[in-house]
């Protein structure tokens, strides 16, 4: 079977820059100018930055806006199974024809000039958004904020900063203050910024940046509050108190993410019904997603199989808390991670949850941590760990002795994407 046209174009685009990541806005500005500046013709933009929760917050906001009857463009990354997942036009995944056309137009406008894969595909998304009617555009930052390819919007409707933690130090800095400074680069003069829960050091940097550029912040713990009470989500701000259902996405971190989404929806003038829809109608794959069918379930018919793409220390802590909310059942983990991540930091909070761990390499990923390296890290934090040749082999091994196990496949969105493709 021939590859779709978009896949062929995407392969060519990968060769336009020697680096996968090279943070600057110069190449974006040049190509957007050549395309007629589609970024200036977008519906009102909600720009989402932060270390953890960007995808969940974006998905909740989209669910709330769509519940209110709005058409919503959305740009997220990375994709899991297919590139098309990154671009939603007025609520629908971009079609193959529309994607191929946008990519080809950007390729022709750019020519052989250096530009990164993320930059040129972001231009393609902005081009497609500019030509399709909608009420809102959600842009999720790829990496950082200040120099991220999405940071080409002069006056977003709302800029969001989800919780900031240590990640991508090679690009963003070694301290929480440096990383927060990069994230705060999405704040713009005269615009609102919604700020999720932050440590004191990160919040000080964000507040200072807001003063510098003249942005008005709505900060968790100051201007809005969210908590769980008697199985309900309670949200309070200057407009009053909302008593809402709990998010269908599991975990205390999702309560915080829900608060960010609700604060944003309230700024946009949306009512309680839209806020409720944000929590109950949201779908976000590979965020503690329970698999319901497919070959992996056929190999373990009496087991529970869950999938999660979190990959840093904060994500490990959030995942451990969320797992504690599930009915008690022995947990067996299958873990594959990239070699750029703090595998011990990620696994340490999960060590007390898991009975065993199977380490796997991520198929097709040059930057994968080897199964042996993952196992060594797991043993360093006190876990009973061994290598497996694949996710399927790990599942088959687990269910020999534990047919009704709870199995969690985790450690990377790239592993999660591979699982979703193979389990389709």
Percent helix, strand, coil in the chain (nearest 5)? 45, 20, 40
More confident position, 341 or 45: 45
Q: Are residues 262 and 193 both part of a single domain?
A: yes
With a pLDDT cut of 70, the percent of the chain lying above it is 98
Structure tokens at 360: 């796997």
Count structural domains, the chain.
2
More confident position, 311 or 262: 262
230-269 pLDDT, tens digit per residue, is 999 999 999 999 999 999 999 999 999 999 999 999 999 9
Q: Are residues 161 and 226 both part of a single domain?
A: yes
**Domain ends where: 280, 302, 336?**
280
**Domain ends where: 280, 298, 325?**
280
What's the pLDDT score for residue 171?
62
Q: How many CB atoms lie within 10 A of CB 202?
A: 25
Q: How many CB atoms lie within 10 A of CB 104?
A: 16
Q: What is the CATH number of the domain that holds 141?
A: 3.40.1190.10
Structure tokens at 112: 């052989």
Q: Are residues 258 and 397 both part of a single domain?
A: no
Q: Are residues 325 and 263 both part of a single domain?
A: no
What's the pLDDT score for residue 1?
43
Q: Are residues 306 and 402 both part of a single domain?
A: yes
219 with 203: CB under 8 angstroms? yes
413 with 336: CB under 8 angstroms? no
**Domain ends where: 212, 246, 280?**
280
Domain that holds residue 133: 5-280
Q: Are residues 206 and 353 both part of a single domain?
A: no
Q: Are residues 271 and 318 both part of a single domain?
A: no
Q: Are residues 246 and 335 both part of a single domain?
A: no
SS3 (DSSP) at 83: helix
Q: How many CB atoms lie within 10 A of CB 204?
A: 13
Q: Are residues 260 and 368 both part of a single domain?
A: no
Report the mean per-residue pLDDT for the chain: 95
With a pLDDT cut of 90, the percent of the chain lying above it is 90
Examine the pLDDT at 173 and tell me if it is beyond 80. no
Examine the pLDDT at 170 and tell me if it is beyond 80. no
Beta strands in 260-363 (DSSP E): 289-290, 304-307, 331-335, 354-359
Q: Using 50, 70 and 90 to split pLDDT, how confident is the model at 172?
A: confident
The average pLDDT across 35-62 equals: 96
1-41 pLDDT, tens digit per residue, is 467 899 999 999 999 998 888 888 999 999 999 999 999 99
* pTM attached to this predicted model: 0.91
* 292 contact partners, CB below 8 Å, separation of at least 6: none
114-157 pLDDT, tens digit per residue, is 999 999 999 999 999 999 999 999 999 998 899 999 999 999 99
Structure tokens at 124: 């393609």
Helix (H) or strand (E) holding 47: strand 45-49
CA–CA gap between residue 412 and residue 410 (Å, rounded): 6
What's the pLDDT score for residue 168?
67
Structure tokens at 290: 């329970």
Q: Are residues 395 and 266 both part of a single domain?
A: no
SS3 (DSSP) at 200: helix
What's the pLDDT score for residue 258?
98
**Strand order from edge to edge, sheet including 240-245:** 224-229, 232-237, 240-245
47 with 141: CB under 8 angstroms? yes
241-251 pLDDT, tens digit per residue, is 999 999 999 99
The average pLDDT across 385-411 equals: 97
Examine the pLDDT at 85 and tell me if it is beyond 60. yes
Q: What is the CATH number of the domain that holds 295?
A: 3.90.190.20
CA–CA gap between residue 159 and residue 155 (Å, rounded): 9
Q: Are residues 355 and 380 both part of a single domain?
A: yes
The average pLDDT across 37-50 equals: 98
SS3 (DSSP) at 358: strand
Q: Are residues 242 and 353 both part of a single domain?
A: no
């Amino acid at each position: 079977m021939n590859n779709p046209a978009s896949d062929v174009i995407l392969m060519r685009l990968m060769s336009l820059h020697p680096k996968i990541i090279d943070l600057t806005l110069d190449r974006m500005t040049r190509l957007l100018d050549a395309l007629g500046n589609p970024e200036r013709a977008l519906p009102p933009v909600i720009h989402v930055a932060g270390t953890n929760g960007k995808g969940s917050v974006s998905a909740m906001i989209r669910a709330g806006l769509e519940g209110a009857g709005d058409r919503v463009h959305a740009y997220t990354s990375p994709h899991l199974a297919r590139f098309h997942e990154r671009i939603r036009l007025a609520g629908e995944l971009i079609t193959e024809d529309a994607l191929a056309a946008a990519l080809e137009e950007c390729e022709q406008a750019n020519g052989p000039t250096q530009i990164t894969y993320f930059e040129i595909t972001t231009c393609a998304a902005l081009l497609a958004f500019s030509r399709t009617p909608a009420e809102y555009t959600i842009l999720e930052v790829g990496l950082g904020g200040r120099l991220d390819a999405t940071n080409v919007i002069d006056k977003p409707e709302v800029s969001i900063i989800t919780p900031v933690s240590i990640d991508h130090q090679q690009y963003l800095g070694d301290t929480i203050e440096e990383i927060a400074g990069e994230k705060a680069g999405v704040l713009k003069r005269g615009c609102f910024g919604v700020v999720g829960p932050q440590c004191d050091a990160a919040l000080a940097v964000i507040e200072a940046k807001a003063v510098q550029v003249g942005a008005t912040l709505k900060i968790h713990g100051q201007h809005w509050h969210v908590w769980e009470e008697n199985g309900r989500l309670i949200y309070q701000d200057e407009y009053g108190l909302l008593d809402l259902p709990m998010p269908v996405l599991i975990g205390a971190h999702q309560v915080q993410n829900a608060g960010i989404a609700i604060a944003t929806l309230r700024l946009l003038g949306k009512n309680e019904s839209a806020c409720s829809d944000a929590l109950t109608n949201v779908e976000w794959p590979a965020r503690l997603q329970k698999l319901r069918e497919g070959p992996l379930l056929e190999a373990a018919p009496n087991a529970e199989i869950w999938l999660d793409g979190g990959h840093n220390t904060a994500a490990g802590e959030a995942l451990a808390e969320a797992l504690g909310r599930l009915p008690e059942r022995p947990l067996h983990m299958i873990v594959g991670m990239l070699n750029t991540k703090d595998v011990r930091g990620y696994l340490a909070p999960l060590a007390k949850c898991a009975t065993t761990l199977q380490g796997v390499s991520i198929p097709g990923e040059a930057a994968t941590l080897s199964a042996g390296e993952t196992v060594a890290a797991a043993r360093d934090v006190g876990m009973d760990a061994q290598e497996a040749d694949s996710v399927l082999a790990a599942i088959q091994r687990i269910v020999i002795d534990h047919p009704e196990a709870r199995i969690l496949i985790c450690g990377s969105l790239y592993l999660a994407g591979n699982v979703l493709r193979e389990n389709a």
